[in-house]
Chain A
Amino acid sequence: MTSTMPTAPAPTLEGTPFAPRWLAVPAIAGAALIVLPLIGLATRVEWAQFPALVTSDAALAALALSARTVAWSTALVVILGVPLAVMLARLEFRGMDVVRTVILAPLVLPPVVGGLGLLYAFGRTGLIGERLTLLGIDIAFTTTAVVLAQTFVALPFLVFSLEGALRADGTRFEAVAATLGAGPWTTLTRVTLRRVWPALVAGTVLAAARALGEFGATLTFAGSLQGVTRTVPLEIYLQREADADAAVALSLVLVVVALVVVALAYGGATRVARARVASGRSS
């Protein structure tokens, strides 16, 4: 069955589109809404000064901080998000829907609200923060706070991408692995996660991108101290009036990073998924 299945997508007959032609009008308008601002940004870049603008002390400090904090928060997202997604997808427990809804919240909450919440949980007078302060640990307005804020807003992206993939994949292969003698940990790492790898990669990349762009929660919970909590988005916001050219230059850096990362990861994930659909029906 697999040997005769064409690997290329089935050709569609020209002149017989499967969607109404007029859909093109709102579709193009939608694409323009997203593309035009990016073009607008590019037209404002002072190309001559660009290298100097993105290597100023403030810009370099912000870029270095963003790189560091995004690396940490992405790692945290994976370490915490994978178990969370597996729990939600594989265990049946009372109140699971409630848990899922609450975990979804950061996706729809204004980030500034999340920042306030973080402050009242981990801040000096917060729920846990008070006890942490007694132990000599201060989180608010430190680099740790930046990482927490980024993790808070980015976690749901991974959890929901992965949970959906786990549910769609089902438990058939896990059952096979179990009867072959594989314990739960071996099954999870060698079978389950390998099967949902594209979703794990896509979810991680989305989460990293979201962490990189985090602004509201960071500003509220971590403040804006150069080299400590002032990430690239905060630096852009600060420079926007003082030095618009610097803000635009940094913005362009973020745009390029975002496009490259999404293209690589999403392209890769889609290719893997397509290859699996094309060749893996029987497996």
Chain B
Amino acid sequence: MTQVSVVNLWKEFEGQVVIERVNLEVAPHSFISIVGPSGCGKSTFLRMLLSQEAPTRGAIRIDGKSLPAEPTEQRGVVFQRYSVFPHLTVLENVAFGLEVAASRLLGRLFGARRRAAFEGCRGILEEVGLDAARDKYPAQLSGGMQQRLAIAQALIKKPKVLLLDEPFGALDPGIRNDIHQLMLRLFDETGMTVFMVTHDLREAFKLGTRLIAFDRYRTRPEERELYGATVTFDIPLDRATAGERRQAMDEIAPRVSASADL
């Protein structure tokens, strides 16, 4: 079980404050939906969780340990695009994580060990519904299938934390619904903690066990550089009923401006 804590996190780019004073205690097995208008720093926050960027001040800890300075196997990720390797087939994409762990020098397996590793990937492929497409290249898959592949590829490493950066934003509504069901099932089965950045407020409420909204609280032009965005809403959803979720969503929608059109 994974405990994530964020302590007084600040991020500045060239003197401009992007994020300030973010404090979060995340319970094990949480699904955190992160919403907010464009440019509010929610993607920056995710990149810091990934160690793709370093905080200017403050710290992020997983199970009490500070984050390493670079991306590691501890935290899996699914991006909106370019998440899978175009030169590998579906099966090879999923087996990638296993192969690099088993063969330090060549990063790939041969013969019986290769067959065993690839066989071990069939289960997760079955789960995300891609087993029939296992020998195809990503360019031959639809957008939804590519994202399911990216999820399977990340999950094969059993990460403690899974980071999703608007992973379903480019998908059609019907496909998005299917992939939501898949995501919820995988979340229940794995016991990992998920952080998902999204533009879609409905998606945030549907998947999350907790919702946090980032926003700037000072918006006058002369203040924009000096004050960054911070957590403006923090709503627990895990024990909320459908009606309570609906109410919370109606309340928050007009105040998270990028999602106001929903």
Chains A and B come from one and the same complex: no
Q: Which residues in B have some Cβ–Cβ distance to A below 8 Å?
A: none
Measured CB to CB, the residues of A under 8 A from B are none
